[in-house]
Amino acid sequence: MESLELADHIRRDVEAIGRISAVPSMLRLICEQTGMGFAAVARVDGDSWTACAVLDRINFGLKPGGQLELHTTLCVESRAARQPIAFDHASTHPVFRTHHTPRIYGIESYISVPIVKGDGSYFGNLCAIDPTPHGVDNARTIAMFQGFADLIGHTLELEDRQSATEVALFDAEATAELRDQFIAVLGHDLRNPLASLSAIGELLARRAADPDSTRAGLRIRATTKRMASLIEDVMDFARGRMGNGLDVAREQIPDLGLALDDVVAEMRAAHPARTIAADIHVTDIVHGSRGRLQQVLSNLLGNAVSHGAPDSPIDVAAWTRDGWFVLSVKNQGEPISPGNLQKIFQPYWRPAESRGHGGLGLGLHICSLIVKSHGGTLQVTSTAEHGTSFVARIPVRPGVAAVA
C-alpha cells in the first residue's frame, strides 16, 4: 500500500513539473549555454531519483517518469549538503576521478543544483551531464542554474497553495485565508527569485559579441516578463478585493490607436507562428488610462492565443464613433459552452479543459475590472460558426453610462 501511495506522489510531482511551461525553455537554454547534451529536472527524496522533465541530446535514454538507482547519482550528495555540485572533467578531477557516478554513467562534465520550495522543503535537483568535458564549474553557470532552480521551487510552492485553495473552495472562510496566503506568495516570495533571473537575462542579452548569449538572454527576459505579468494580475485582484480599486490614473489619450498597435506588435513578436490581423482606427481623444487599456488588449490577445485555433487568425479591431471607444478581439476554435460564458469573468476560474494552458484564471477578470473602472462594459459571445469575440465598449469622455 505504501508503494502505491509513493508512486502516486511521484506521479503528481512529475505532472506538476510538466505544467510549468518555462521548464522546456530552461533545459534548452542550459544545453545551449553549457554545451551539455543532457539536462533534467529530477525529483529526489531519501529513497528515489525520478526524472520529471528531460532534454536528451546524447541518447542517455531517460524520459519523464524514468528512475535511476538513488545511490548511483550525485544528486543524493547534493541533497544531503543542500549545495551545488559541479565539475568540468571527471577524469582529471582530484575528487571525482575515482567517484562511482562518472564511471557508472560514462560522464566527464556534470552540474547539479538543489530545487527547494518556498517553504524550505526539498523537491529535487536541476542537473546536466555530458560524456565530454565542458566548463560548468564557474560562478556564471552555477548562478544561472540557481536562478532557474529558485524559479521552479517557488512555482511548485505556488501550485501547492493553489491546489490547497481549490480543495477548500467549499469552505468560504478557508478559501479566503488560503487566497490571502496565495497572494502573499506571489507578491513577495516570488519577486526575489524573479528579479535574480531577470538580472541574469539582462546580463546575457547585453553580450552583443555572443549571439547565442543574446538569444538566451532574450528568452529569459520573455519568461520573467510572463511571470511578472502573473504577479501583477494577482496584485491587481488583491487591490480590488480589499476595496482599494485598481490603479487607474485617467488622462486625455490623443494616440490610443498607436498604443494599441504597440501591443499587437509585441504579441506578434512573442508568437511569430500566429497570425494577428489588426484594424485599428481610433480617431478621437479617449479619456482613460493608456497602460490599463493596453493591458486589456494584451490580456484578451493572450487569451485568444492560448485558446484559439492555432491555424486560424486572431482579429483585432478598435475604433471610436458617436462618443464611444470600442475594442474587439476575435478568434476561431472550440466555442465556449453557454454555462461557462456565465463564469468566464469570475476570478480564479478556468474551464477544466483549459488547465493545461497555464495562467491563474485572473486575466479576463482583470479586464472586466479595468473596463468597468472606465465606465464601460465587456461582453463575450462564442459560437462554432462565428468564433469567440470579446468586445469592450468605453465612453471616450467620463460621466457617460455604458449601454450594452
Q: What pLDDT does 85 receive?
A: 97
Q: Cα angle at 310 between 305 and 311, to 5 degrees?
A: 140
Neighbours of 336 (CB within 10 A): 18
Q: What pLDDT does 403 receive?
A: 45
251-395: CATH homologous superfamily?
Answer: Histidine kinase-like ATPase, C-terminal domain (3.30.565.10)
**β-pairing, 276-281 with 314-321?**
parallel
- List beta partners, residue 249: none
Q: What pLDDT does 42 receive?
A: 96
Question: For the chain, what percentages of helix, strand and coil (3-state, to nearest 5) are there?
Answer: 50, 20, 30
Give the integer Cα–Cα distance in Å for 52 and 160. 17
Q: What pLDDT does 271 receive?
A: 86
Task: Record the cell numbers describing residue 348, joined without a space.
Answer: 480564479
Tens-binned pLDDT, residue by residue, of the chain (404 aa): 233 344 788 999 999 999 888 899 999 999 999 999 999 999 999 999 999 999 999 999 999 999 999 999 999 999 999 999 999 999 999 999 999 999 999 999 999 999 999 788 999 999 999 999 999 999 999 999 999 999 999 889 888 777 766 665 556 565 566 665 666 565 656 666 667 777 777 777 776 567 777 777 777 776 676 666 666 666 666 656 555 556 677 899 999 999 999 999 988 988 889 999 999 999 999 999 988 899 899 999 989 998 899 999 999 999 999 999 999 999 999 998 888 888 888 876 666 655 444 455 678 888 998 999 899 999 999 999 999 999 999 999 876 554 43
Q: What pLDDT does 3 receive?
A: 36
**β-pairing, 377-383 with 67-68?**
unpaired
Do 117 and 154 touch, CB atoms closer than 8 A? yes
99 dihedral zone (left: phi>0; alpha: psi -120 to 50; beta): beta
**Closest of 341, 322, 340, 345 to residue 402, by C-alpha:** 322
Do 109 and 87 touch, CB atoms closer than 8 A? yes
Give the integer Cα–Cα distance in Å for 326 and 286. 11
Q: What is the CATH number of domain 2-239?
A: 3.30.450.40
Neighbours of 48 (CB within 10 A): 15
**Closest of 61, 66, 57, 65 to residue 31, by C-alpha:** 57
Domain ranges of the chain: 2-239, 251-395
Give the integer Cα–Cα distance in Å for 181 and 249. 28
Q: What pLDDT does 346 receive?
A: 82
**Single pTM value for the model:** 0.49
Residues contacting 137, CB < 8 A, separation 6+: 86, 87, 88, 111
Give the integer Cα–Cα distance in Å for 163 and 319. 41
